[in-house]
Structure 1
C-alpha cells in the first residue's frame, strides 16, 4: 500500500500571450484521487484539462514523497506556461 502525504494544493498563474489572457490552475487532487490536474482557462471557460496520474510522475518505490509531489506539481504547471508562451496549446 502506498503512503501519501499532504502537500501544497496547487498553483495559479495569469499570463497574456499575443494579447490573449489565460489563467492556468494546477492542483494536487490528493490521496483519494491521486492525480495532478491542470486547467487552462480563457474568458472563464476551460480550454483544456491535463490530468496526470501520480504513478506516471511520482513513484519512488512504494512511497509518494512530499518533495516529489511538490516538484511534479510545479513541473507540470511550468511546462504548461512555457508551452503557451511558445504559442502552442499542450
Structure 2
C-alpha cells in the first residue's frame, strides 16, 4: 500500500515541499502539508469516511486513489497560483 507522496516544486521562484500521507486505520485521515523553508504553511486533512463515500468497493484502492488525487490537486493549485 502506498503510504504517501513527497514532491518538491518551485512556483515563481519560491520552493515548496508537498507531503501527503495516509495515517492509517488507527487515525483514519489523509494528511497533506505544504512546507516552505522548513515551516508548515498549510495542513489539509481528509477523513477516510469522506474518501470512502466515493463508492469504491475496495477500501485500500479508494484510499490509494484519494491519496494521489489529494497530492496532485494541491500541486496543481500551487502551480496555478492558489494556496497557501
User: Taking structure 2 as the reference length, what is the TM-score of the superposition?
Assistant: 0.92
Distance in 2, matches of 1:48 and 1:64, equals 30
Q: Which has the higher contact order (CA 8 A, sep 6+)?
A: 1
Q: Residue 89 in 1 paired to residue 80 in 2?
A: no
Q: Distance in 1 between matches of 2:68 and 2:34?
A: 15
Question: Does 2:45 align with 1:51?
Answer: yes
Report which of the two structures shows the higher radius of gyration computed on alpha carbons. Answer: 1
For this pair of structures, how many residues does the alignment match?
83
Higher-helix-fraction structure: 2
Query: Please, what TM-score do these two structures have when normalized by structure 1?
Result: 0.86
Unpaired segments of 5 or more residues in structure 1?
A: 1-6
Q: Which of 3, 7, 23 is the aligned partner of 1:13?
A: 7
Q: Which residue of 1 aligns with 2:62?
A: 68
* Alpha-carbon shift at residue 8 of structure 1 (Å): 1.0
SS at match of 2:81: coil
SS at match of 1:84: helix
| RMSD of aligned Cα (Å) | 1.5
Equivalent residue for 1:33, pick from 3, 10, 27 = 27
Match of 1:4 in 2: none
Q: Distance in 2 between matches of 1:64 and 1:72?
A: 12
